[in-house]
Structure 1
Amino acid sequence: MADRHHSGLLAIWISLFSNIILTILKLVAGIMLGSPVLLADGVHNAGDIIATVAALTSSMVSKKPADDDHPYGHGKAEVVASAFVAIILALAALWIGYQSISALFKPPGEENWLSLGAAVISLVWKQALYIYTIRVGKATKSKSVLATAYDHLADVYASLAAVIGIGLGLLGDRLHWEWAAYGDPIAGIIVSLLVLKLAYEIGKDSVDILMERNVAPEKLAYYESLIRSEANVKRIDRVRAREHGHYIIVDIRVGIPYDYSIQQGHDISRQLKKLIMDYDPDVIEVMIHLNPWDPSELAKH
C-alpha cells in the first residue's frame, strides 16, 4: 500500500511540474508569436495547475489513517478532488468552445512554424504524461491520479486541435486555401465537446462514489460465492460494498446456526473476512453482522 501511495504521489508531482513548465511555454510563445490558440491553450493549462494541486493535496489527505472524526478513513478526499477536476475540465471545455466560436467571426490570424513547434511539443509531452499517469492510476486505484490522467488526455485533445489548426493555417497559406484559416476554431469546437464528455464521465463516477453506489455486480456476486463457500454460513441476508476512494468497504449479513457460541461466531467472522480480503486486496474492511439461523427454516421451504 505504501509503494502504491508513493507511485501515485510521484505521478502527480511530475504532472504538476510539467503543467507549470508547459503553461509558461505556451503563454510566452503565445504572446511573443501572437498566437491566440497557444495563448488560449496556456490559460487552459493554468487551470490544470490548480486541478493538479487539488489532486496532490487530496492524495496526501486520503492516505491518513482513520481517526475519531473519520472512522472509515480519508479515502473520499480523492473523490472530492476528482469531482473538482471534472469541474475544471467542464469550465475549460466551455472556454475552448467560446473562444473557438468567437474566432469564426473574426479575421483569421497568421500562423508560423514556431507556433506549430510549440503545439507539437505540448502534444507529445502531454501524451507521454497521459500514458504514464493512467498506468499508475490503474495500478494504484487512485481516483486523484486517474483524474489527473484524464486531465492530461483533455490537454492532448486541445494540443492536437492546436497542431491541426496551425498546420492547416500554414498549409492554407501555401496552397491559397482560404477556408483552412478557420481549421483551428473548427478543431477547437470538436475538442471542447470531447473535453466536456470527459468532464461528465469523471464527474459521474465521483458522484456515484460519493453517493455510495454499490461496486460492480460481478464483484458482489463473487463476494457472495466466497461467503457461500464457508460451510457454517446457512443464509446470506445481505451483501453490500462501496468504494471509499482507493479502497473498498464490504458490509455483509449472514445467518449461522442459532445455538453457536460467541466464540464460534467470532471465528466464522474472521474466516469470512480473510476469504474476501485475500481475494480482493483493495478491501480494507469487512463489517459482518451475524443473524441466528434455525434448521426449521429448511422445512418451511
Structure 2
Amino acid sequence: MAHGHHSGLIAIWISLISNVLLTVLKIVAGLLLASPVLLADGVHNAGDIIATVAALSSSMVSKKPADEDHPYGHGKAEVVASGFVAIILVIAALWIGYQSIGALFEPPHEPSWLALGAAALSLVWKQWLYVYTMRVGKAAKSKSVIATAYDHLADVYASLAAAVGIGLGLLGEHMNWAWAAYGDPIAGIIVSLLVLKLAYEIGRDAVDILMERALSPEKLAEYEHLINGVYEIKRLDRVRAREHGHYVIVDVRVGIPGDYTIQQGHDISRQIKERIKAADEDVIEVLVHLNPWYPGE
C-alpha cells in the first residue's frame, strides 16, 4: 500500500507539472493565433492546476493514520478532492461553452497550422497521462488519482475537438467551405457537453461515497457467505459495508448461542474479521456486534 501511495504521488506531480506547461502553451498559442477553442482549452488547463493541487494535498492527507478526532482514518479526503475536481470541470465546461457560443456570432478567425500543432501535441500528451494516471490510480485504489486521470480524459476530449475544429477550418479554407470556418467554436461546444458529462459522473461517485452508499449487493453477498462459514454463528442479522476513500469498512451483526462466554464471543468476532480481511484486501476494519441466540428462535 505504501508503494501504491508513492506511485500515486509521483503520478499527481507529473500531472501538475504537465498542466502548468500545457496551460502556458495553450493560452499563449490561443491568444497569438486567435483560436477560441485553444484559448478555452488553456483556461480549462488552468483550472486543472487547481484541481491537481487539491488531489495532491488530499492524497497526502488520506494516508495519515487514524487519530482521536478521525477514528476511521482520513480516507475521505480523497473523495472530497474528487468532488472538487468535478466542480472545476463544471466551471471549465461552462467557460468553454460560453466562449465557443460567443465565437459563433463573431467573424471567423483564420485557422493556423501552429494552433493545430499545439492541439495535437496536447492530445498526445494528455492521452498518455490519462492512461498512466488511471493505471496508477487503480493500482493504488486512490480516488484522487483516478479523478486526476478523468480530468486528463476531459483534456483529451478538448484537445481532440480543438484539433478537429482547427483542422476543419484549414480544410474549409482550402476547399472554400464557408461553414468550416466555424469548426473551431462548434468543436468547443461539443467539448463543453462532453466535459459536463464527465463532471457529472465524477461528482455522482464522490457524493455517493460521502453519503456512505452501501457496496454492491454482490459484494455484500460475498461477505455474508464468508460470515456464514463460521460454524458457531446461528443467525446473520445484518451486514453493511461502505467505502471510506481508498478502503472499506464493514459492519456485522450476528447471533450466537446466548450461553457462550465472553472469550468464545471474542474468538468468533476475530474469525469473522480475519475471514473478511483475508478475502478482500480493501477492508481495513470489520465491526462485529454479537446478539444472543437461543434454540427455537
After TM superposition, the score normalised by the length of structure 2 is: 0.98
Q: Partner of 1:247 in structure 2? A: 247
Contact 2:143 2:245 in 1 (8 A): yes
Aligned-residue offset at 1:37: 2.3
Asked if structure 1 preserves the Cα contact closer than 8 Å seen for 2:36 and 2:103, the reply is no
Quick check: 2:36–2:184 contact (8 Å CA) kept in 1?
no
Distance in 1 (CA, whole Å) between partners of 2:92 and 2:154 is 9
For 1:135, give the aligned amino acid: R
In the alignment, structure 2 segments of 5+ residues that lack a partner are: none
Helix, strand or coil for the counterpart of 1:89? helix
Give the Cα–Cα distance (whole angstroms) in 1 for the partners of residues 203 and 279 of structure 2: 29
Code of the aligned partner of 1:69: D
Q: Distance in 2 between matches of 1:141 and 1:114?
A: 39
Deviation at 1:32, TM superposition (A): 2.8
Distance in 1, matches of 2:17 and 2:194, equals 25
User: What are the residue-to-residue correspondences of 1:153-192 with 2, within 5 Å?
Assistant: 153-192=153-192
Moved more, 174-183 or 185-194: 185-194
Q: Which residue of 1 aligns with 2:102?
A: 102
Q: Which residue of 1 aligns with 2:45?
A: 45
**C-alpha separation between the residues in 1 aligned to 2:115 and 2:288?**
61
- Tell me the secondary structure at the aligned position of residue 72 of structure 1: coil
Deviation track 1:232-251 (CA, whole Å, cap 9, x = no partner) reads 11111110000000000000
Which residue of structure 2 aligns with residue 214 of structure 1? Answer: 214
Count of matched residue pairs: 297
Look up the match of 1:277. 277
Q: Distance in 1 between matches of 2:64 and 2:46?
A: 29
SS at match of 1:296: coil
Give, in whole Å, the separation in 2 of the partners of 1:113 and 1:9. 36
CA distance in 2, matches of 1:175, 1:8: 48
> Does the CA contact (< 8 Å) of 2:236 and 2:254 recur in 1?
yes
> For the Cα contact (< 8 Å) 2:212–2:243, is it kept in 1?
yes
Residue identity opposite 1:220 in structure 2: L
Q: For the residues of structure 2 that align with 1:186 and 1:117, how far apart are their CA atoms?
A: 19
Q: Matched residues in 1 for 2:12 and 2:258: separation? A: 52
Shift of 1:43: 1.1
Q: What code does the residue aligned with 1:292 have?
A: P
Match of 1:236 in 2: 236
- Long gaps (5+) in structure 1: none
Equivalent in the alignment of 1:82? 82
Q: Kindly provide the CA deviation profile for residues 61-97 of structure 1, in whole angstroms up to 9, marking residues without a partner as x.
A: 0000000000000000001000000000011111111
Aligned Cα RMSD in Å?
0.8
Counterpart-to-counterpart distance in 2, 1:279 and 1:177: 62
Matches for 1:194-213 after TM superposition, within 5 Å = 194-213=194-213
Structure 1 position 171, deviation (Å): 0.4
Report the alpha carbon displacement of residue 4 of structure 1 after superposing the two structures with TM.
1.2
Report the Cα distance in structure 1 between the residues aligned to 2:102 and 2:268, rounded to whole angstroms: 67
Query: Following TM superposition, by how much is the alpha carbon of 1:25 offset from its aligned partner in structure 2, in angstroms?
Result: 1.1
The alpha carbon displacement at 1:31 in A equals 2.6
Going from structure 1 to structure 2, the CA distance change for 1:248 and 1:232 (only over 3 Å counts) comes to same
Q: Matched residues in 1 for 2:34 and 2:120: separation? A: 17
Deviates more, 1:123-132 or 1:25-34: 25-34
